[in-house]
Amino acid sequence: MESQGGWLSGKWGIMAATLDRRTFLTHSAATVGGVAMASTLVDSMVAEAANQVVGVNLGKPKMGGTLRVGLVSDVPNYHNFNGAQGKMDDSGFCVANALYDALFVAAANGKTWVPMLALSATPNANYSAWTVKLRQGVTFSNGDPFNADIVVANFQAAAADPTVGTAIRPIIAKVSKVDSYTVLFSLVIPFSTFPISALCEQQTCYMAHPSSLVSGYSGNPIGTGPFVVSSWQVGYQSVFKRNKNYWRADAHGRQLPYLDGITFHTIPDDPTRNQALQSGQVDMILTQDGASIAALKSMKGISYRTDVHDPLDPSVNCLIVNTTGTMNQYFAWAGEFAGAGVPGALSYLMQGQAVPQQVQLADWMGTKGAVDPSTLNWNTKLSPVLNDPTIRQACAMAINRTTFQKVIYGGVGAVADGVYRKASPYYRNPHYPAYNPKKAKTLVDAYKAKNKVSSVGFVLDIVSGSSSEQRLFAYVQQQLGAIGISVTPRPSNQSQLIQNVILGEFDCSSWNQFGGVDPSLNYVWFNSQPATLPLAQGGLGLSALPAGTYIAGAVNFAHQADPKVEGAMLRALAAKPYSAVQKAAWALVNSRFAQDLPYFFLTTLVTGWAARTSVQNWAYATAGDGTTRCLNPDGGSTRWDQIWVK
């Protein structure tokens, strides 16, 4: 669904068009504004030394004009496009930055938060509650004031949303109004980096007008941001005009934004998006496809930067695996699949009743199945194969990630062996399985003999209309075919792919996620809960299951439920930021993934922004004071209020 991301992972994401799902709810990848991104580190250092930072021009801006931007995807429904209800990928965060302001934004060093709609965030002694002071004098584009009631309404709507709520309820217990411009966030768990995670890098940081949060709302989104909606043709383009009453000014007192308007064009295919930039059909593009980024080097009349050398963990291109071979078990426990004959245990527990054993077993086993390769639909009569750890190990060993990085991803980025890059303070060698097709085939042959089957195969979800996704599938199919595993494609649009993963009605899917300014952004994606403990003890109350059973959280889409991962994350969240305890705990999470293999890691995701030379200052932005530099671009999203066109 990846990380602006995501509510979730800074901003929740896959490969270029593959992943908007991946970033779903969070900034999946994050970049630092102000770093010159040429093709090599040497080029970057030279550019910095010459004070020619790519995308930055702090001279006197030219006011007016319209910017045309090519993005990877669009939203399913713009009427509920907001932080509390939307499903934002990187492209969605780009559009959100035009319409909304965040409570905080990330500092240029990526390590802390700086003020925007909120001025400060102060924790209690153990980080289980945060008091947030809000900025006064801000109004929405319709003239209504921004205040504490607005923040409470947005988080209430987020908690009630069937998708976003599943991501924030494990963290936020309650949001309360203290006074007109102060709110209190009471948390479920101690969380030492909560503001940068939930109030800065998650889509829930955006504050929408409460009238647009009601069910069935059919108007335009209403925010406090630099632009307002002029028109929106979903899947094609959205047009925005300047918010004449925007509350912000730059360091010289000039009212923002500089532009009169922005038009976002939806261009899912990566080469087509590059061509649109080169031909002048658009002025600026976002790309996360390695081959397309490599092609930018020879494109005349444009400037570009990537996040390769930014001091943050990038998002990761991977294949996400349904490790249990079930539909979303958390949803089953909650009764989300009642219409499919799975009643759910929560309704009994909420009434203080014992859960019948047959209900518990239905929640546990009644959703098991696989995607039928002939119909491409979920079929509970089929036996999954990727729930077997030896088959996952075989797949990981069979995919030559080095060749993938060089040939399929255009030599951009680096081979990934986990959720951190090697320069990260959280990285320790996780010992991810090395490329070994001979041993992989031995594992597959042993599985066939043990289970008395003659074939092994699964369905791989990819995004339709994307040439990069087609290349990915062809490569994976060839690599796994060589060890005796057949792979069938299931192409679909981004929204459907995300929905399949959310519901757990998938075997395996192309994906990218997990980067950002802080590992805490990933907590909800990896969260699991003990099934056999009662609710009061943080469990799910399924006493008929084997002791020690864990069930993945609602947005733990790989369904990995490892108590060692859960314990390490809780230690990390409660620890002082950048402490030895925090670093060791997050490193343990990464090493467990190399054993559990909920993801087949491929490469670090490289995010590239390119613009025609007429576009100025597109890699620079400031916090609410108009002076303090903030992180921009931030992963796959950028801010628009201080861009201008010659």
DSSP characters over 15-39: -GGGGTTTTSSS-SS---TT----S
What is the DSSP-derived secondary structure letter of residue 378?
Answer: E
Helix axes 437-451, 389-398, angle to 10 degrees: 150
* DSSP assignments along 390-450, one per residue: HHHHHHHHHS-HHHIIIIISTT-S-B-SSSS-TTSTT-----PPPP-HHHHHHHHHHHHHH
Q: Where along the chain do its domains lie?
A: 316-604
Kindly list the distances between the CA atom of residue 263 and the CA atoms of 125, 228, 282, 338, 511, in Å, as whole numbers in the listed order. 46, 11, 9, 43, 27
* DSSP assignments along 78-93, one per residue: GGG-STTT----HHHH
Q: Which residue has the tokens 């802390």?
A: 112
Note the pLDDT of residue 51: 40
Beta strands 456-463 and 485-492 are: parallel
Q: How far apart are CA 276 and CA 271, in angstroms?
A: 9
How large is the average pLDDT for residues 235-247?
97
Note the pLDDT of residue 311: 73
What pLDDT band is residue 27 in, cutting at 50, 70 and 90? low
Note the pLDDT of residue 263: 98
**pLDDT tens-place string over residues 137-177:** 999 999 999 999 999 999 999 999 988 998 899 999 999 99
Q: Are 378 and 368 in contact (CB under 8 A)?
A: no
Q: Tokens standing for 68?
A: 């045309």
What pLDDT band is residue 273 in, cutting at 50, 70 and 90? very high
Q: How far apart are CA 232 and CA 238, in angstroms?
A: 4
Note the pLDDT of residue 9: 30
Say yes or no to pLDDT of 37 above 80: no
Give me the phi and psi of 78, to 5 degrees please: -75, -15
Kindly list the distances between the CA atom of residue 625 and the CA atoms of 135, 183, 248, 497, 521, in Å, as whole numbers in the listed order. 11, 21, 8, 40, 26
**pLDDT tens-place string over residues 310-333:** 778 888 999 999 999 999 999 999
For the chain, give the percent of residues with pLDDT over 90.
78
CATH second-level architecture of 316-604? Roll (3.10)
Say yes or no to pLDDT of 343 above 70: yes
How large is the average pLDDT for residues 69-95?
93
Please state, as a whole number, how many other Cβ atoms lie within 10 Å of the Cβ of residue 152: 17
**pLDDT tens-place string over residues 380-435:** 999 999 999 999 999 999 999 999 999 998 888 899 999 999 989 999 999 999 99
Calculate the average pLDDT of the chain.
90
Q: Are 148 and 185 in contact (CB under 8 A)?
A: no
Q: What is the pTM of this model?
A: 0.87
Note the pLDDT of residue 21: 36
Over the range 361-399, which residues count as b (16 or more CB within 10 Å of their CB) and which as e?
ebbbebbbbbbebeebebeeeeebbbbbeebbbbbbbbb
Instruction: Report CA dihedral (614, 617, 26, 502) to the nearest 10 degrees.
Output: 0
Strand partners, 70: 265, 285
Q: Which residue has the tokens 């909560």?
A: 194
Rg (CA), the chain: 23
Q: How far apart are CA 202 and CA 460, in angstroms?
A: 28
Helix axes 467-481, 389-398, angle to 10 degrees: 110
Say yes or no to pLDDT of 50 above 70: no
